[in-house]
């Protein structure tokens, strides 16, 4: 996995292929989940997270442009603004030294031995965090994002253990498929939030055109409906029973 991460990091700047950027970010999330599971500490991947975030900023604009291509409403000025921002971020990527954080990451995990039986309470803590967040009186967008991070950690660690034929009793109690479906819902919700935030940033201090106002109205309604369905899905997430506690 570390070798693939290094490969994709080097490939991103060649043509900023969306698939390559997506693979880089997904691999890092998988890698980070395993490190959290093994309690390796943030120091191992802290510097590389900057690379991850930089790639994410580029990918956000690419996703927005792709969605707009398929949308019935479009704003030429907004599209031009997105293109200009994307060009700037690509130049910044080319001027950034990614070798040092990658080297730090690879050196940090050089002696790491993943023990599948280690930290069985990892799943219990993650599931409890999800339940606590979603049962709050006010569920914010940041809360939903935190839920997704916890779910992704569970999903990736379970997949790793299954691949290694090391699924424990604790892992078999995890509703993995349900969690995976919810994370996909959150992904769609995040894309809707992304579009709205970008258009709002573009129109700061400007008078909205009729088209732009309609775009915000339509996207806002879609976002509201998706958010409502999403929260319901998380609240109906099958409860996890550990050997020591019931959530």
Tell me: the pLDDT tens digits for 15-46?
999 999 999 999 999 989 998 998 887 888 88
Can you tell me the distance from the alpha carbon of 221 to that of 223, in angstroms, rounded to the nearest whole number?
5
Same domain for 144 and 211, yes or no, is yes
Q: Which residues contact 231 (CB under 8 A, 6 or more apart)?
A: 134, 139, 144
Of the three residues 114, 140, 163, the one that is the final residue of a domain is 114
> Do 131 and 144 belong to one domain?
yes
Six-digit token pair at 57?
């900023």
Average pLDDT in the 197-217 region?
A: 94
pLDDT at 242 over 80: no
Distance, CA of 98 to CA of 13 (rounded, Å) = 10
The label of the residue with tokens 């803590």 reads: 125
Q: Which of 114, 130, 155 is the last residue of a domain?
A: 114
215 lies in the same domain as 93: no
Residues 71 and 128 in one domain: no
Going by C-beta distance under 8 Å and a sequence separation of 6 or more, which residues neighbour residue 36?
Answer: 122, 153
Residues 40 and 2 in one domain: yes
The number of distinct structural domains making up the chain is: 2
């020591």: which residue's tokens? 244
Pull the structure tokens for residue 41. Answer: 């500490």
Domain identity same for 82 and 136: no
Task: Provide mean pLDDT across the span 182-192.
Answer: 93
Are residue 6 and residue 103 in the same domain, yes or no? yes
Cβ distance 71 to 191 under 8 Å? no
Indicate the pLDDT class of residue 245, thresholds 50, 70 and 90.
very low
Q: Is 73 helix (H, G, I), strand (E, B) or coil?
A: coil
CB 28 within 8 A of CB 48: yes
Q: What span, in angstroms and rounded, lies between the C-alpha atoms of 185 and 157?
A: 20
Q: What is the dihedral of CA 132, 138, 142, 145, to 10 degrees?
A: 50
**Residue 64, CA distances (Å) to 74, 94, 196, 206 in order:** 12, 22, 10, 20
Q: Which residues are registered as beta bridge partners of 241?
A: 246
Q: What is the pLDDT of residue 190?
A: 93
Residues 192, 104 within the same domain: no
- Per-residue model confidence as pLDDT tens digits over 113-157: 888 777 778 888 898 889 888 888 788 888 999 999 999 999 999
Domain span including residue 43: 1-114
Per residue in 159-182, pLDDT (tens digit) is 998 888 876 677 778 888 999 999
C-alpha 192/C-alpha 196 separation (Å) is 6
What is the spatial distance between Cα 134 and Cα 231, in angstroms, rounded to a whole number? Answer: 7
Residues 78 and 174 in one domain: no
Tokens in use for 214?
């309609």
Mean pLDDT of 220-224: 95
Is the domain of 131 the same as that of 247?
yes
Which residues have CB under 8 Å from 217's CB, separation 6+?
Answer: none
């Amino acid at each position: 996995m570390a070798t693939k991460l290094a490969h994709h990091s080097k490939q991103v700047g060649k043509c900023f292929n969306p698939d390559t950027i997506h693979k880089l970010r997904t691999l890092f999330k998988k890698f980070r989940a395993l490190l959290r599971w093994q309690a390796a500490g943030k120091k191992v991947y802290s510097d590389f997270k900057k690379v991850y975030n930089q790639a994410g900023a580029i990918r956000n604009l690419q996703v927005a442009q792709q969605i707009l291509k398929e949308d019935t409403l479009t704003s030429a000025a907004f599209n031009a603004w997105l293109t200009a921002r994307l060009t700037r971020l690509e130049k910044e990527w080319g001027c950034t030294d990614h070798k040092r954080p990658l080297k730090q990451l690879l050196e940090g995990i050089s002696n790491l031995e993943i023990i599948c039986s280690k930290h069985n309470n990892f799943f219990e803590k993650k599931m409890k965090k999800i339940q606590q967040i979603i049962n709050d009186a006010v569920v914010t967008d940041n809360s939903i994002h935190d839920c997704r991070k916890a779910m992704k950690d569970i999903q990736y660690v379970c997949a790793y253990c299954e691949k290694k034929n090391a699924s424990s009793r604790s892992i078999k109690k995890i509703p993995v498929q349900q969690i995976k479906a919810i994370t996909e819902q959150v992904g769609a919700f995040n894309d809707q939030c992304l579009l709205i935030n970008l258009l709002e940033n573009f129109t700061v201090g400007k008078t909205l055109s009729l088209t732009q106002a309609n775009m915000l109205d339509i996207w806002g309604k879609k976002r509201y409906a998706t958010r409502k369905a999403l929260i319901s899905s998380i609240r109906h997430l099958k409860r996890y029973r550990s050997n020591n506690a019931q959530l």
